[in-house]
Amino acid sequence: MRPFPGLWLRGAAIRALGEHFRDQPGTADFLRDRAVNDPDSDLRRAAIEALGEHFRDQTGTADFLHDRAVNDPDSDPRGAAIEALGAHFRGHPETADFLRNRAVNDPDSDPRGVAIEALGAHFRDHPGTADFLRDRAVNDPDSDPRRAACLALAGMLNIPHARTLCSRDLDGIAPGIDPAEPVTGEHARRAATALGEDEGAIRALYERIAAELSLTLAWKGKPARAAAAALVPGGVPDAAIDPTFTHAQPHQAGAGRVSIPYWRHRSRPC
């Protein structure tokens, strides 16, 4: 098989092969080749997504995705592999630990955020998930993973409108609010308007949420609860999760990265 020269056509061909030719001999091998060797990161991402969705039951797919989640040189394919593992391999005993590893140790904020979202979506009842997300909401040095952790935690709370109130745009979807920034009275007023509720009732809900998520409320002046203080400062080191998942360099805080929206919220050229 020979890839088409145009980026869009090549991406369409990769997706079509995964969807319509999954039973054809050689398709999985071709997708694995593109996932590693295509020079364009968007096409490697497309191949990874096709493998996760259509070849999840094939021997070796999980191991291949683990490798791509750590060793692809670009953040988008790593994020695609992380998301595929969370969505399609949640029953594998090593998946939760691997996602926690990537949520701490990927060098870029986007894949860390994807791993955090996957933990919140697929492992909310897994022992330790809530405490881990509290740690990430406070200790990740970039805002996007902190926002993802806050929103994931909000979805676990038995508090009315918690997820909506913890979303930046008050729509219940990403991005979440950043726990490093105070929730302002203006935000509470906008939330009251959006939900058709009394502002005092909304502030009371925020105070209940803050007691669980260590949010700072501008009208209170300090966090209601330092939930992450008892956790490991700076996150969970590789060895505490799985010493085999150390192919990439551990994340170093303050490396001058620019926080950008998650790759899957951006438009795709292919």
> Which residue is it, tokens 């993802």?
148
Going by pLDDT thresholds of 50, 70 and 90, the confidence category of residue 11 is confident
pLDDT digits (tens, 9 = 90+) for 142-164: 999 999 999 999 999 999 999 99
Q: Where are the domains of the chain?
A: 11-89, 90-241
Q: Which H helix or E strand runs over 99?
A: helix 95-105
Q: What is the mean pLDDT of the chain?
A: 84
Q: Is the pLDDT of residue 251 over 50?
A: no
Which pLDDT tens digit goes with each residue over 68-107?
Answer: 999 999 999 999 999 999 999 999 999 999 999 999 999 9
Q: Which residue in this structure is represented by tokens 């809900």? A: 205
pLDDT of residue 223: 54
Split at pLDDT 50, 70, 90, the class of 27 is: very high
Of 3-7, 66-70, 256-260, give the lowest mean pLDDT range.
256-260
Q: Which of 5, 101, 89, 3 is nearest to 47 (CA)?
A: 3
Distance CA 191, CA 199 (A): 8
Count CA atoms closer than 13 A to 79's CA, side-chain side: 22
Please report the pLDDT score of residue 243 as a whole number: 32
pLDDT digits (tens, 9 = 90+) for 190-225: 999 999 999 999 999 999 999 999 899 999 865 544
Kindly report whether the peptide bond that precedes residue 93 is cis, defined as omega within 30 degrees of 0.
no
pLDDT at 14 over 50: yes
**Distance between CA 212 and CA 192 in Å, rounded?**
21
Question: And the tokens for 78?
Answer: 């790593």
The full length of the chain comes to: 270
Do 244 and 92 contact (CB within 8 A), yes or no? no
Alpha-carbon separation of residue 110 from 3, 37, 143, 144, 261 (angstroms): 28, 22, 10, 7, 7
Distance CA 247, CA 267 (A): 30
pLDDT of residue 258 exceeding 70, the answer is no
